[in-house]
A and B are shown apart, each in its own frame.
Chain A
Amino acid sequence: MIEVRNLSKSYGPVQAVRSISFQVNQGEVVGFLGPNGAGKSTTMKVMTGYLPPNEGTVLVDGMDIRENAIEVRQQIGYLPENTPLYSDMVTYDYLEFVAAMRGVQKDDRAERIAEMTNACGLQEVLSKRVDALSKGFRQRVGLAQAMIHNPPILILDEPTSGLDPNQIVEIRELIRTIGKKRTVVLSTHILPEVQASCDRVIIIDNGVLVADGTPEELQANLSAGEHVSITLMDNEEDVAGVLGTWDMAEVVEHGTDVNGEAYFNLNSSSDIRADLFRLAVSNGWTLTGLHRRHENLEDVFRQLTGR
């Protein structure tokens, strides 16, 4: 559906995106992850036809974003970062304006606006001016304008930034509903968002693509083996001495936590909790905590993009 090929983009001397390639298949919801300034927005701006790439191309349904600009743009709904809207317009008029600009036939506009009003919950703000809307409603109007022409592709740049937790959940649910019928590319630096709404994750760091896969795949790749943490009410050095010679697991990290208890993070190839418990008993340790840790997307993200 969307194919990004060797895309590079620089602003003057600053190279924002370096030869990124990936594909988005029909019906997928793809999350674009990366630290601020990683090149997410730039990539999206090129994909929507706003910025011309320095190198490489973007193909939508086999059509080039530059050569078939008008046709490609018709396929795409776009919500830029910070949701820019004409603040001097009434919501209804604004949606009608976008619908007209998007080529929605005059007779169909009212119906499309009604549909978007329902989908995005805009009933109470239709007759209000855009500059009087709360951030959450602005975001919904932004989503509504992106979908007004019923595009098969949606590109959303940080759709939940600046919203309160309730609004984030609402917008996320909205995106999930929308995503059932469409191809969605959304960028974010909020990790739970990706886990909540995306089929696939693409991680970009410093303009380079560093990972591409389902959230589960990415976690599996990085979290080979088992991770167990324990806390004890014993002398850290003594325990470290015993664990250091124990051949079933490897100590990754140890220290003293805020309660004054010693903690140890261990890596192993199999589940060692039972063995660890017996080891503690045989050494007479007072074990106060023993749990298995799962590497989450946050660990993946930090591992891949940490500098």
Chain B
Amino acid sequence: MNQTWTLTKRELRAYFDGPAAYVVLCVFLAITGWFFGNALFLQNVASLRSVFSIAPFIFLFFMPALTMASFAEERRAGTLELLLTLPIRDWQVILGKLLSVALLLLLAIALTFVYALTLAILGDLDLGGTVGGYLGLFLLGITYGAIGIWASSLTRNQIVAFILGFAIIFVLFLLDKITDFVPGQLGVIMQYLGADYHFQNLMRGVIDTRDILYYLSLTGFAFLLTTYTLAKRPE
């Protein structure tokens, strides 16, 4: 387990040694800040709802961007061979990488606590909705991250990894928004499979295990697919 953490630290350092982490954090804060300020000052709405509503859309781009290098770059540079011949299991390597993404995500989310704090000072903060929203944000982000990592393990080209990851996440993002076009029962299934639908539930302050389970199982599934891809030892 120590080694998994060592790998996580290396990945985090790689994010912060380059521009990737700063760009992502700044742009994330700028966009959410704009939506937050817009609602607060122009529409006089003291709510985090606008922040939470835009976040899944931002993650749609950011999570594939953050994870596109994770395995694709190792494959391209050949370092994957060294990494996978170290005395650790493949799943520990994937976990190490996923953890680093999770920590970066936590940091991004933690930085938006400023908005929540502002609201708590200015007026009444809907605690349930805030906690649910933040939980949903984290679960959504980590799910997208796990999918992005899988996409990255499929290719040695970062651009391809990004587009693949984006495409998969976009389908999940879209599923619950096109239910009007499909017949009844199928619509319900599609709604349940949609990533945003569960986030909307959590954002309302209803913390339901079904929604949490949805994200966790999707993350686990993506993790499993990555293990499977790596086991085939792509060149």
Contact = CB atoms under 8 A, between A and B. Distances in A.
A74 interface: yes
Interface residues of B, number: 23
Contacts of A80: 78, 81-82
Contact of A52 (B13, B14, B81, B233): B233
A111 interface: no
Interface in A57-94: 69-71, 73-74, 76, 78, 80-82, 84-89, 93
Interface residues of A, number: 31
Interface stretch (A42-50, A195-203, A266-274): A42-50
Select the residue from B7, B10, B77, B84 with max chain A CB neighbours within 10 A: B10
Contact of B85 (A52, A71, A78, A89): A78
Select the residue from B7, B14, B78, B82 with max chain A CB neighbours within 10 A: B82
A82 B79 CA distance: 10
Interface in B1-41: 2-3, 6-7, 10, 13-14, 17-18
Nearest to A142: B82
Given A101-B7, A103-B87, A78 B82 contact: yes
A100 B81 contact: no
B81 A50 contact: yes
Interface string B184-197: 00000000000000
A85 B74 CA distance: 9
Given A73-B87, A103-B3, A84 B77 contact: yes
A106 to B, nearest CB: 9
Interface string A144-185: 010000000000000000000000000000000000000000
A51 B17 CA distance: 32
A265 to B, nearest CB: 45
B177 to A, nearest CB: 39
Interface in B161-203: none
A98 B81 CA distance: 13
A101 B86 contact: yes
B77 A87 contact: yes
Contact of B78 (A49, A82, A89): A82
Contacts of B84: 50
Interface string B79-102: 111101111110000000000000
A97 B10 contact: yes
A102 interface: yes
A291 to B, nearest CB: 46
A50 B85 contact: yes
Interface in A130-152: 145
A88 B17 contact: yes
Nearest to B79: A84
17 contacts: A11-B235, A50-B81, A51-B233, A52-B233, A70-B87, A70-B89, A73-B86, A74-B87, A76-B85, A82-B78, A84-B78, A84-B79, A88-B17, A88-B18, A89-B10, A98-B86, A102-B86
Given A80-B81, A145-B82, 4 more contacts: A48-B85, A81-B78, A86-B79, A101-B87
